[in-house]
Structure 1
Amino acid sequence: MKTLILICTISIGLALPLNAAEQPNVVLIFADDLGYGDLGCYGATKVQTPNIDQLAREGRRFTDAHSASAVCTPSRYALLTGEYPLRANDGAGVWGPAPVTSGLIVDTEKVTIADVFKNQGYATAALGKWHLGFGAGTNNWQEPLRPGPQDLGFDYYYGLPVVNSAPPYVYVENDRIVGGDPADPLVYIGRGHNEVATPITEIPPEASQRTANLFKGAVEAHKKYNDYTVGTVLANKAVDWITANNQQPFFLYLATTHIHHPFTPGKDFQGSSDAELYGDFVQELDWMVGEVTGCLEKQGLSENTLVIFTSDNGGMLNLGGRNAVRAGHLINGDLLGFKFGAWEGGHRVPFIAKWPGKIEAGTESDQLICNVDMLASFTALTGQDSQALQSKDSVNVLPALLENPKQNIRKDLILAPKKESHLAVRKGNWIYIGARGSGGFTGSQPSHHAWGGPPAVQFVGGVNSDIEDGRLKKDAPPAQLYDLEADVNQTRNLYNEYPEVVEEMSKLLSTYAPPKRRSAPKTGNAAATNGAAKRTAAMPSTRSATFDFESGKLEPWKVVEGQFNHIVGNRDRFFHNKGECNKQGDYYLTTLETSATAERGSDQQTGLIVSPLFIPQGGEMTFRVGGGGGPATYVALCTADGTEVETASGVNNQLMQRAVWNLAPYVGKKMFIKIVDDSTTGWGHVTADNFQFDAELLVQYSETQAPELTTLKATYSEAQGIGVEEGVMRRDPSDIIKVGDLYYLWYSKGTISPGYDATVWYATSLDGHAWTEKGMALAKGEPGSWDAASVFTPNILIAEGRYWLFYTGTSRQFGKGFNPDSKIGIAVSDSPDGPWERLDTNPALKNSDNPEDFDSHLIDDACLVVREGKYWFYYKGRQLGKSPAETKLGLAIASQPQGPYKRVEDNPVIPGNHEVLVWPQGKGVAAMIGTTGPKEITRSIMVADDGLHFSKTHNVIDVPTAAGAYRPEAFSDSGAGKRIQWGVHIGKQKGSLPFIERFDLVPASN
């Protein structure tokens, strides 16, 4: 057990309750995404919260309370551990929501708030949303699910392992899946698979976004989980647990899923508020609180129970939040910003404490407090020595709850948004944010689930001096300073007016985080036309051939290139403005939708869809077409050899237009219809419906329906500063990242042509053309180490707020008969400028011990992307006894940037290529193939929707050699990657050692 020292008095002078009868019970209710303006006692008028309002009347309401993070997982980390979330993961921090793949984030050796109570003989329980990871994060979900809540001081746990918007959609009790069956285990299948996930509760689109199930099996366990009964289940569990433990002091941590999306209130609460489903969910939360407080009253426990009610972060402007705002409900009151951001709306939260006889009823406090303070406060409450705590971030604010101190207890406070670059510090009335903008979600359109930042401020009528017309002003200061005493709504950035305060606050912030933050970057609908068709009901066709998709399926059409997640849709209203789209009947073809319930579509989906062949019999073909009007989105009539003879497109509007083609010239010929979507920009999609014509349909497809591969070419120019230099070799460049205004690049440097006697250097650039060599980043390893002879072929990963330098090393000295034994290691730094510290676990990946494996001789050349919350590590390998020409590409995956990395069973994933360059392409992964490998794939780009099974999509003329590229989406896990545009490679010139040269990738026609 993790123990603390017992002391005899609480710091405020109260006599310490030493026997069980006098020890106070504590109930901590931790709501999810509840905004500062969501409760009646905080000013809401469109929702009714009588039970929570009663808590405020009978206790103390705080007006300057905060969550340590504006994001769910790090906020929970701070609450349980008393540490700022930037200290998690050995200082790397935790900044975003934990994915389903995450292991337990909290170190089981840390003292938690549950340990504090358990040390004093309390019964302890955690109920509801966990979202801090289970086990080692291997995704095998084998019971027991340990480590977990019971390894952090909780005697009992019952709840959701992640969150109500993400799988697995099951309950966990202690360390077992409720309703689990060894004969039908819960199995993670992830995305991009052909397996069928277990069905889950159906919810309407207006309930807001919910991730599709990523698990199969555990059918009975899934049946026990229903989105509409979670509130009732958790409230009943709380009542039952309190009742069962009423004879001993207890601590209950009730972490509700309310009011996190999806908004699925129980039947009794649907339509109960004046703020849409969002408000209904708030009112069900209030009922849950009433069930708990009513139980305490019924059991005669109210007088000796401290009840604390608060939220994990501010309200989120998702679909439900926006609907509430439209109904007149301001989820965060008049505060600036929302969940995920550094502005007050992201982290200033309701906080109410009630303890009859100890906390003066009906009082209000403007003391600065934070959820991170609960550890020290509960330690003092139970008579233990808070000085013995490992965490120095947690401050004992018990005096703020029980007394009325005139001075602020807290001197300063660190507040974390989703982006580390926007870490904020509060001191007195000042708050300083080290970058421009909110540091939260940045979706720019109201249809985006992740809407935030300046456009969202404009939507709710907010005012800020850095924002104009929903955009950051170009001349906005590089950081932000606000006086919250005079301007709690943050209408005026005082950065330029108080330089001395800026300097003081910046220095204070730097004591909590290394100087690795970077400034935030500076940064419609078309009207309907007269040609728009009218919506009609489905009706029998009088023509001999019809494609109206009323079966709800794409067949007999097929996708021959690319991927579309929901190709046949049936929604009545368009995503962007809920306008009519003029479909015929119920179903229509769409390249925009991602699922039947998705809140928004994705123009990132691209590909080609074709009909079967048919032989026209004359007359006209009529149909409807909508979406984009650009050259990359259209419908075409084609001859059997693929020649396009007629085309039609939308007009950048959701309204489908009526189109007519004359088929008389094509009577007796084999024809087919092709739908092309090769655009990822706005209006980069096609909708189509109700093709009516007279023809003989053939049960066959054109052999030339797939278009010719697009051909690109690489053009080359000087990389000034790292180009040709006598006696100097520079080669094997990394991929390029941008930090602030600077591009960063790492590469091998030495005095011989190969990289086998080299060190890793780096350079920076403002424009990608002129580079400044900054110096050595990584030296050779210690004598006798695996990387003692050379370190080379570096690459970079940005993850968890740090920089991870992957590099190849060899222990063998270069010379006659040299045969490398290369392996890949990792060094880490808090800044792209270093210093770099090698991991003790190096090498991170080494050659296989099985001589039959493709990588049994050596491995080299790391290239990483982040997918589905994991780190995908592509590398090249060579088998024992094989030549360099037989090098192939492999893949290993890890849940953490430092590993361990596990090879995939499908290795090698590409049967050739001497160098590795991959990047996110849409939701998939693309790879550039050089001059080595099977002839049919060389000098090309290949794409794999699942990141594993690659197919050729482009030819590349003058393909770069051992290239590194600028890949801005490589680590975003956004599912919206785009083809690379430029980078650097190894330049070669007669009489010179290898050097770095810039390339640009352009269409071959340019």
Structure 2
Amino acid sequence: MKNLLLLVICGICIACDTKEPEVQSPNVILILADDLGYGEVGYQGQKKIKTPNIDALSETGMVFTNHYSGAPVCAPARCVLLTGKHMGHAYIRGNDAMKERGDVWDYAKAAADPNLEGQRNIPANTETLSKMLQKAGYKTGIVGKWGLGGPMTEGIPTNLGFDYFYGYNCQRQAHNLYPNHLWENEEKILLDNELVVPATKLEPGADPNDPASYAKYEQKDYAPDLMHEKALSFIQENKDEPFFLYYASPLPHVPLQIPSEDRESYIAEFGTEEPYDGSKGYFPNQYPNATYAAMISKLDQQIGEVRARVKELGLEENTIIIVTSDNGPTYAGGVDSEYFESSTPFANGFGRTKGFLYEGGIRVPMLVSWPGKITQSTSDHISVFYDIFPTLAELVGMPVPEELDGKSFLPELMGEAQEKHDYLYWEFPETGGQQAVRMGKWKAVRQNIKKENNLEIELYDLSNDILEQNNLAAEHPDLIKEFEEIMAKEHEAPEVSTFRMPALGD
């Protein structure tokens, strides 16, 4: 009996020794560019702007050609991304400055008083993908731009699932890339920059062709560089445990600002330009096209350095990198979207890009890289920001909350059968008030819901009309009826009165 017992114990020990180790949860780096257009990266056909690192990364994973932001502007897009709820259910549905706090649009006052800084906050009890990853054992960090709750509110990153935060709390403060402060967790970090209020013009009589006239717009501490160092440090410091880095870069969002040495090659390439005088907002710039191109190339360089750091630490095969943009490209601040064909193959310019629910405003570049796990390929799977939460939940083996609107696209990444959306839904109470639905090849759009109480639906066949120029609504009354039902079903009256659209019954 003793011998039998010894054999059983030995067998148990052998089984313990030979048991395969558990697979480590992969690190996740989610890089969110700010206003990067679908056509502004090389792998999507961009010719004037160089993005070699993003292009190289696209060759290691899956490129999505039918990926959408959750909204056409900053704050609501970020809310959708973090909560997994579309704009008909999300708490934040626009860029709400919460003007009831006081003179929130006075940049200098807000820079001095944290009570005036930031956007409307999402409640601290909101379920976020960062909280989900914390529960899964991840160290979580956000570096870059927040925009979902002022410094003195419950809506700060460290209340919403992030162990670490460094960057801009407020989107308006991000309208200067040489700000006088940033935030690190709950601490205001003063920088070595003088306060220059956005929209400050050249001095009277200044020569617009003299570089010295623009000296005040280029100071010492360039925020994107400071934030980038913090992002690399976060990776370094958490290399021995699973980590989630949400790198919400402020690039290439205007103002047109970059250290002068970073744009020299583009100045040489593009030649003499007509200076931008600041008449469309933000700061003047002597070389607007060269500066904008350099800002995207700076973003590209930083993405390359993130990848290099991951490789140096031996983490490449255990790190999934996602690169996308919060919405389509801008038309303001001296950016010439026509010159760069920023939204190609979609329509460019005001009314069709940032701020609007046409393709150029919400269809964004996205690639996902995970060497050894994701095969290099191009996917036409129709996906959206609110899919990222359930995708990451499935990736790390966490339950997906029932109230989410998204569907995991992890099967698509793994080359398996992928469940498709019946349709995607958006609404946006700003720029007149809008709704949109994509269902297969069809795209339905409502404009001026709030401005004119308009409920008429435009209908486009994206398979034949990617520019959304031929409204086919009159030819398909049955489809229009179906889209009307979807828009009514998916719109839930917002809690915040600012986001309500009376024509929808709010």
Band of TM-score, shorter chain: 0.7 to 0.9
Gap change, CA 1:32 and 1:202, over 3 Å in 2: closer
**Which residue does the alignment assign to 1:76?**
78
Select 1:503's aligned residue among 481, 487, 490. 481
Distance in structure 2 (CA, Å) of the matches to 1:269 and 1:201: 23
SS at match of 1:415: strand
2:137 is the counterpart of 1:121? yes
**Which residue does the alignment assign to 1:349?**
364
Distance in structure 1 (CA, Å) of the matches to 2:321 and 2:434: 33
Decide whether the 8 Å contact of 1:127 with 1:157 is kept in 2: yes
Gap change, CA 1:508 and 1:18, over 3 Å in 2: farther
**Which residue does the alignment assign to 2:175?**
165
Equivalent position amino acid for 2:324 in 1: T
Distance in structure 2 (CA, Å) of the matches to 1:360 and 1:85: 32
Provide, for residues 378-409 of structure 1, a one-character-per-residue CA deviation record: whole Å limited to 9, x for no partner.
110010121xx15331211111222254x662
More strand by share: 1
SS at match of 1:423: strand
The structure with more radius of gyration: 1
Decide whether the 8 Å contact of 1:123 with 1:251 is kept in 2: yes
Decide whether the 8 Å contact of 1:31 with 1:311 is kept in 2: yes
Select 2:250's aligned residue among 248, 257, 264. 257
Select 1:412's aligned residue among 400, 409, 423. 423
2:443 is the counterpart of 1:431? yes
In the TM superposition, 1:295-694 aligns within 5 A as: 295-322=309-336, 325=338, 328-336=339-347, 337-361=352-376, 363-386=377-400, 389-403=401-415, 405=417, 409-417=420-428, 418-419=430-431, 421-435=433-447, 478-513=456-491
Gap change, CA 1:830 and 1:357, over 3 Å in 2: same
2:153 is the counterpart of 1:112? no
Gap change, CA 1:52 and 1:158, over 3 Å in 2: same
2:196 is the counterpart of 1:200? yes
2:131 is the counterpart of 1:152? no
Distance in structure 1 (CA, Å) of the matches to 2:455 and 2:188: 51
Decide whether the 8 Å contact of 1:27 with 1:306 is kept in 2: yes
Shift of 1:331: 1.0
Gap change, CA 1:313 and 1:202, over 3 Å in 2: closer
SS at match of 1:308: strand
Distance in structure 2 (CA, Å) of the matches to 1:435 and 1:333: 22
Distance in structure 1 (CA, Å) of the matches to 2:49 and 2:445: 33
Distance in structure 2 (CA, Å) of the matches to 1:502 and 1:264: 45
Equivalent position amino acid for 1:106 in 2: I
TM-score (normalizing by structure 1)? 0.40
Gap change, CA 1:169 and 1:404, over 3 Å in 2: farther
Shift of 1:108: 1.7
Q: Percent identity?
A: 30
In the TM superposition, 1:902-921 aligns within 5 A as: none
**Which residue does the alignment assign to 2:500?**
801
Shift of 1:478: 3.6
Equivalent position amino acid for 1:799 in 2: T
Provide, for residues 527-561 of structure 1, a one-character-per-residue CA deviation record: whole Å limited to 9, x for no partner.
xxxxxxxxxxxxxxxxxxxxxxxxxxxxxxxxxxx
Gap change, CA 1:48 and 1:162, over 3 Å in 2: same
Gap change, CA 1:45 and 1:284, over 3 Å in 2: same
Distance in structure 1 (CA, Å) of the matches to 2:85 and 2:44: 28
Provide, for residues 931-964 of structure 1, a one-character-per-residue CA deviation record: whole Å limited to 9, x for no partner.
xxxxxxxxxxxxxxxxxxxxxxxxxxxxxxxxxx
Aligned length: 423
Greater relative contact order structure (CA < 8 Å, 6+ sep): 2
Equivalent position amino acid for 2:82 in 1: L
Provide, for residues 95-136 of structure 1, a one-character-per-residue CA deviation record: whole Å limited to 9, x for no partner.
235465456522222221111211121111000101111255
Decide whether the 8 Å contact of 2:180 with 2:190 is kept in 1: no
**Which residue does the alignment assign to 1:34?**
36
Gap change, CA 1:267 and 1:278, over 3 Å in 2: same
More helix by share: 2
Decide whether the 8 Å contact of 2:29 with 2:246 is kept in 1: yes
SS at match of 1:159: strand
Distance in structure 1 (CA, Å) of the matches to 2:73 and 2:120: 17
**Which residue does the alignment assign to 1:831?**
505
**What value does the CA root-mean-square deviation take over the aligned residues?**
3.1
Shift of 1:415: 2.0
Shift of 1:200: 3.2
SS at match of 2:413: helix
SS at match of 2:255: coil
Distance in structure 2 (CA, Å) of the matches to 1:314 and 1:110: 27
Gap change, CA 1:351 and 1:479, over 3 Å in 2: same
Distance in structure 2 (CA, Å) of the matches to 1:384 and 1:57: 29
SS at match of 1:331: coil
Distance in structure 2 (CA, Å) of the matches to 1:88 and 1:334: 29
Provide, for residues 806-839 of structure 1, a one-character-per-residue CA deviation record: whole Å limited to 9, x for no partner.
xxxxxxxxxxxxxxxxxxxxxxx9637xxxxxxx
Gap change, CA 1:178 and 1:147, over 3 Å in 2: same
Gap change, CA 1:251 and 1:396, over 3 Å in 2: same
Decide whether the 8 Å contact of 2:80 with 2:90 is kept in 1: no
Distance in structure 2 (CA, Å) of the matches to 1:402 and 1:202: 46
Distance in structure 2 (CA, Å) of the matches to 1:480 and 1:227: 49
TM-score (normalizing by structure 2)? 0.77
SS at match of 2:88: helix
Distance in structure 1 (CA, Å) of the matches to 2:474 and 2:395: 44
Decide whether the 8 Å contact of 1:86 with 1:95 is kept in 2: no
Decide whether the 8 Å contact of 2:151 with 2:169 is kept in 1: no
